[in-house]
């Protein structure tokens, strides 16, 4: 049976061109980028080139790119690294952050920091009134994601950054779900630090970066040989870093084309979903073009996902990392969605290889499953 993948916010397939760029560094070019001989120099040059490619995609200078093992590490590096430097005060993060921002922020609350969760509106956008209110209190750092991983809703990061800077707070954004889907410009966002990850943009798993404004100082999570300007010691994962660079290059060259293609497919899906009576979350806000987040009243999301999987379609319930957690999505609860509707949430996220035929086949399968599950529910009542 064929399998159609609609879970690109969890991870994307490795692009063939990215794989080709990585292969020499998995085979014959295995040098350590710190070695002074020919193979080391080749590895170093490859890392330098990747740094330029990542920097170009987000409009920064290459030394601002600190390679990490992924988005999780980059988010931890900012929050924990800043907390080592700043005196404890308030840390403000949105109520819809990924757990790899939410958990480190909660950990600071146990170390003398005051944690403030910024409220979101019913559309899933951070409430600027709550930002203003939060910044009345002395705040050391603010972290608000650029696009939410579940709803795809784009956040007013530049506006929040402006206010955070005025309040002398360090501003960070987790841009993992925005990169490769919309233009992400570090300078225009006016943030002090930004997280990106390779495997959401057709690059390899296990590579990411924290983009850092040189005017802030962070303490490293890992110390040792002083790699990455002392911010992340450890022998560089050259093949993955090369793949990340290649994926950024690819994304830069096809951003507009991808956005238009995915937006069209999403509109097709959502037309079908609305016709079937689905509730679509965040669809009145600006969203990244590939994501649709929906629920059917009275139908459990996990059950829907399992039934769709049996029919050859891969979709997700909320965030991939918390799909084993039976609690309704914290993002939806923060948006004021009733828990019984939030329990039905399904995340559908498109990628470049999806077609209109894939979408039509998905909608046909969904229609069957929803009708069957509704019948079962009606019989149980
Ligand atoms: N931030 C967001 C918004 C994400 O969606 C994810 C992954 O799902 C991450 C961070 C973690 O990135 P990584 O998988 O590279 O650790």
For residue 229, how far is its CA from the centre of ligand 1 (angstroms)? 23
Q: Name the residue with the closest Cα to ligand 1, atom 9.
A: 71
Query: Is it the case that residue 326 has pLDDT exceeding 90?
Result: no
Lowest mean pLDDT, pick from 51-55, 182-186, 225-229, 317-321? 317-321
Q: How far is the CA of 179 from the centre of ligand 1 (A)?
A: 11
Look at 26-35, 108-117, 317-326 and tell me which has the smallest mean pLDDT. Answer: 317-326
Residue 70 Cβ contacting ligand 1 at under 6 Å: yes
Which ligand 1 atom lies nearest to the CA of residue 208? 15
Contact 199, 7 (CB under 8 A): no
The answer to whether the pTM exceeds 0.75 is: yes
Kindly report, residue by residue over 38-78, the tens digit of the pLDDT: 999 999 999 999 999 999 999 999 999 999 999 999 999 99
Per-residue model confidence (pLDDT) at position 324: 56
- Options 3.30.70.3280, 3.90.1150.10, 3.40.50.150, 3.30.1370.100; CATH for 4-12+255-380 is 3.90.1150.10
| Per-residue H/E/C for 35-83 | CCCHHHHHHHHHHHHHHHHHHHHHCCCHHHEEEECCHHHHHHHHHHHHH
Residue 145 Cβ < 6 Å to ligand 1? yes
Residue range 164-203, pLDDT digits in tens? 999 999 999 999 999 999 999 999 999 999 999 999 999 9
* Residue 325: predicted pLDDT: 57
Q: How far is the CA of 152 from the centre of ligand 1 (A)?
A: 13
pLDDT in tens, 108-134: 999 999 999 999 999 999 999 999 999
Where does the chain hold its CATH 3.40.640.10 domain(s)? Answer: 16-250
Q: Please answer whether residues 119 and 127 qualify as being in contact, where contact means their C-beta atoms are separated by less than 8 angstroms.
A: yes
Cα(113) to ligand 1 centroid in Å equals: 24
Please indicate whether residue 208, judged by its CB atom, sits closer than 6 Å to ligand 1. Answer: yes
Q: Is the CB of 151 under 6 A from ligand 1?
A: no
Which among 213, 138, 131 is positioned nearest to 168, based on CA atoms? 138
The rounded mean pLDDT for the chain is 96
Pick one of 2.40.30.10, 3.40.640.10, 3.40.50.12280, 1.10.287.130 as the CATH number of 16-250: 3.40.640.10
pLDDT score for 4: 98
Q: What percent of the chain has pLDDT over 90?
A: 94
User: Counting atoms of ligand 1 from 1, which one is nearest the CA of 100?
Assistant: 10
């Amino acid at each position: 049976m064929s399998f159609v993948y609609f879970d690109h916010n969890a991870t994307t397939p490795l692009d063939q061109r990215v794989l080709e760029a990585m292969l020499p560094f998995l085979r014959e070019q295995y040098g350590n980028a710190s070695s002074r001989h020919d193979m080391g120099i080749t590895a170093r040059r490859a890392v330098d080139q990747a740094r330029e490619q990542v920097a170009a995609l987000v409009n920064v200078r290459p030394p601002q790119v600190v390679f990490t093992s992924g988005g999780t590490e980059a988010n931890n590096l900012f929050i924990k690294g800043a907390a080592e430097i700043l005196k404890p005060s308030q840390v403000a993060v949105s109520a819809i952050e990924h757990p790899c921002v939410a958990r480190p922020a909660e950990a600071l609350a146990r170390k003398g920091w005051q944690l403030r969760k910024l409220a979101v509106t019913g559309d899933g956008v951070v409430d600027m009134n709550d930002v203003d209110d939060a910044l009345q209190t002395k705040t050391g750092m603010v972290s608000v994601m650029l696009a939410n991983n579940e709803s795809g809703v784009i956040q007013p990061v530049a506006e929040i950054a402006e206010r955070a800077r005025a309040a002398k707070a360090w501003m960070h954004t987790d841009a993992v779900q925005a990169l490769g889907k919309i233009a992400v410009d570090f300078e225009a966002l006016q943030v002090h630090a930004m997280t990106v990850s390779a495997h959401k943009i057709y690059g390899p798993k296990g590579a990411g970066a924290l983009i850092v404004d040189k005017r802030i100082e962070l303490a490293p999570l890992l110390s040792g040989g002083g790699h990455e300007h002392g911010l992340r010691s450890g022998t560089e994962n050259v093949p993955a870093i090369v793949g990340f660079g290649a994926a950024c290059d690819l994304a830069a060259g096809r951003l507009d084309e991808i956005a238009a293609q995915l937006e069209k497919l999403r509109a097709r899906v959502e037309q079908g979903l609305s016709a079937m009576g689905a509730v679509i979350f965040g669809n009145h806000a600006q969203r990244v073009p590939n994501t649709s987040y929906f629920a059917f009243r009275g139908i459990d999301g996990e059950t829907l996902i399992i039934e769709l999987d049996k029919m050859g379609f891969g979709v997700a319930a909320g965030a991939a990392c918390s799909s084993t957690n039976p609690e309704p999505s914290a993002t939806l609860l923060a948006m004021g969605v009733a828990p019984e509707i939030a329990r039905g949430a399904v995340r559908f996220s498109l990628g470049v290889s999806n077609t209109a035929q894939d979408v039509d086949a998905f909608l046909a399968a969904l229609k069957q499953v929803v009708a069957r599950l509704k019948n079962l529910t009606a019989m149980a009542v």
